[in-house]
């Protein structure tokens, strides 16, 4: 049987997929925005709401800037995209932006120090400005209640110059490969939608020590050796993702909480154990253990009973047993693939798989053991919407000849 197309997707992760569906970007637009002159607006991709905006781009840059002459408070979005500007001096008189300040893809921009009069902004996006070395001009800002995105600014080394305050709707700090601190997040307590930190040059996430609640949480820092900066966290309303943490050997430092709905542990090459993982709820929407090269101990999953969505266990070459999943009774979709040392399935309580059932290319797993698990499920609740059906079932590529 052929594995369903959706299950052939590679297990490699880019942290920004976050996350999981985790990391919040700055929206998209189905068609171009048309400005007052009737021309297609290059800033269209940053427009997420039908509110006033000024687009400052590479075409007639000074003409765009002239729209802000004499303005001290702007009730809308100011977007500076793909210009040759070296500073934002034209914003020096603006004290409040009742919308978003978006600064993106300005290759020559080295500083935004000239925005020092700015004390109020609803959302902030600083995206892919390769020469930008600091955010000194944001020093007057003490709160950003909306969206904060600071990503792919490869020369940016610090966020010490400003604060996003105690609450924001979403925060994404990622791909700033020189960034060594999260100082702007030191007072952060509540993030309603998503908090994503990944791909920076951090040695710790200690500045997150005030965070109490988040919607989704994604951590993907290659240098950190502990998650202890999250010790105050009490609530995760959605997905918990730990991905591309190259130096983590376990998950110590996480608090005791049982509120998250989805769990993804992916592409952590040194992770040997899930020890320290917040207590896994009895019911999860999804579980993904993918491409963790050293992971052996998954005993932290023993509290799990039900997975309403997909359970993916792929490309974990050191896992030999799934016995900690012995209490799982039902799964939306089951996919166990390419785990080189897996010899024991251990899903002794499994009675129902609602969609696809795939056990494939586990070279040490006895093919008969996979078939026995399928027979167990078919005899109880069945597979798929119809029940006892072969549609969506794949058992292949496992060890054909097993020792008695």
Q: What confidence score (pLDDT) does residue 389 get?
A: 56
Q: What is the pLDDT of residues 166-185, one digit of tens each?
A: 999 999 999 999 999 999 99
Q: Is the pLDDT of residue 33 over 70?
A: no
Q: Is the pLDDT of residue 35 over 50?
A: no
Burial class (CB in 10 A: 0-12, 13-18, 19+), 303: middle
Q: What confidence score (pLDDT) does residue 404 get?
A: 64
Phi, psi (deg, nearest 5) at residue 239: -85, 140
Q: Angle CA(97)–CA(126)–CA(236) in degrees, nearest 5?
A: 95
| pLDDT, mean of residues 71-80 | 96
Instruction: Residue 175: count other Cβ atoms within 10 Å of its Cβ.
Output: 20
| pLDDT, mean of residues 94-112 | 96
Nearest to 125 by CA among 222, 45, 17, 32: 45
Q: What is the pLDDT of residues 255-275, one digit of tens each?
A: 888 789 999 999 999 999 999
Q: What confidence score (pLDDT) does residue 259 get?
A: 86
| pLDDT, mean of residues 23-46 | 46
Q: What is the pLDDT of residues 289-327, one digit of tens each?
A: 999 999 999 999 999 999 999 999 999 999 999 999 999
239: confidence class by pLDDT, cuts 50, 70, 90? very high
347: confidence class by pLDDT, cuts 50, 70, 90? very high
**Contact (Cβ atoms closer than 8 angstroms) between residue 339 and residue 316:** yes
| pLDDT, mean of residues 342-352 | 97
| pLDDT, mean of residues 371-400 | 86
Q: Is the pLDDT of residue 360 over 90?
A: yes
Q: Is the pLDDT of residue 210 over 90?
A: yes
Q: What confidence score (pLDDT) does residue 314 get?
A: 98
| DSSP 8-state secondary structure symbol assigned to residue 40 | E
What are the residues facing 97 on neighbouring strands?
74, 121
95 dihedral zone (left: phi>0; alpha: psi -120 to 50; beta) = alpha
Q: What confidence score (pLDDT) does residue 255 get?
A: 85
Nearest to 243 by CA among 262, 216, 271: 271
The whole model's pTM is what?
Answer: 0.88
Burial class (CB in 10 A: 0-12, 13-18, 19+), 388: exposed
| DSSP 8-state secondary structure symbol assigned to residue 23 | S
Q: What confidence score (pLDDT) does residue 45 get?
A: 87
Strands (E), 24-95: 33-34, 40-41, 53-56, 73-74, 77-81
Q: What confidence score (pLDDT) does residue 64 get?
A: 94
Q: How far apart are CA 246 and CA 202, in angstroms?
A: 12
Q: Is the pLDDT of residue 19 over 60?
A: no
Instruction: Residue 325: count other Cβ atoms within 10 Å of its Cβ.
Output: 23
Q: Which stretch of 31-35, 60-64, 282-286 has the lowest confidence by average pLDDT?
A: 31-35
Q: What is the pLDDT of residues 214-227, one digit of tens each?
A: 999 999 999 999 99
Q: What confidence score (pLDDT) does residue 256 get?
A: 82
Q: What confidence score (pLDDT) does residue 8 get?
A: 34
Percentage of the chain exceeding pLDDT 90: 80
Q: What confidence score (pLDDT) does residue 400 get?
A: 83
| pLDDT, mean of residues 197-204 | 98
Q: What confidence score (pLDDT) does residue 34 get?
A: 34
């Amino acid at each position: 049987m052929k594995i369903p197309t959706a299950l052939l997707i590679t297990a490699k992760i880019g942290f920004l997929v976050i996350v999981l569906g985790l990391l919040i970007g700055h929206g998209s637009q189905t068609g171009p925005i048309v400005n007052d002159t009737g021309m297609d607006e290059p800033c269209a991709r940053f427009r997420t709401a039908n509110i006033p905006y000024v687009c400052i781009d590479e075409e007639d840059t000074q003409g765009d800037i002239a729209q802000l002459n004499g303005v001290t408070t702007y009730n809308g979005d100011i977007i500076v995209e793909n210009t040759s500007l070296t500073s934002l001096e034209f914003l020096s008189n603006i004290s409040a932006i009742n919308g978003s300040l978006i600064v993106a893809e300005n290759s020559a921009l080295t500083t935004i120090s000239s925005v020092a009069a700015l004390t109020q902004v609803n959302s902030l996006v600083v995206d892919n400005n390769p020469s930008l070395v600091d955010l000194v001009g944001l020093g007057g800002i003490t709160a950003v209640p909306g969206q904060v995105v600071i990503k792919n600014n490869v020369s940016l080394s610090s966020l010490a110059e400003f604060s996003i305050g105690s609450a924001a709707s979403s925060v994404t700090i990622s791909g700033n490969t020189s960034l060594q601190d999260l100082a702007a997040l030191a007072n952060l307590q509540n993030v309603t939608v998503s908090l994503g930190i990944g791909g920076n040059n951090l040695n710790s996430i200690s500045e997150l020590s005030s965070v109490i609640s988040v919607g989704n949480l994604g951590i993907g820092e290659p240098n950190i050796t502990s998650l202890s900066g999250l010790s105050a966290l009490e609530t995760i309303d959605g997905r918990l993702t730990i991905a591309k943490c190259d130096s983590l050997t376990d998950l110590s430092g996480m608090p005791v909480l049982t509120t998250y709905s989805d769990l993804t542990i992916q592409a952590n090459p040194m992770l040997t154990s899930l020890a320290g993982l917040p207590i896994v709820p009895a019911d999860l929407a999804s579980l993904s253990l993918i491409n963790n090269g050293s992971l052996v101990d998954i005993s932290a999953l023993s509290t799990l009973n039900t997975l309403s969505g997909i359970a993916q266990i792929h490309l974990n070459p050191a896992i030999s047993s799934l016995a900690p999943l012995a209490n799982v009774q039902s799964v939306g979709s089951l996919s166990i693939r390419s785990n080189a040392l897996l010899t024991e399935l251990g899903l002794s309580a499994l009675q129902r798989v609602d969609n696809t059932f795939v056990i494939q290319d586990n070279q040490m797993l006895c093919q008969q053991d996979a078939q026995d698990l399928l027979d167990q499920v078919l005899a109880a609740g069945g597979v798929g919407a119809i029940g006892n059906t072969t549609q969506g079932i794949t058992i292949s590529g496992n060890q054909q000849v097993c020792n008695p």
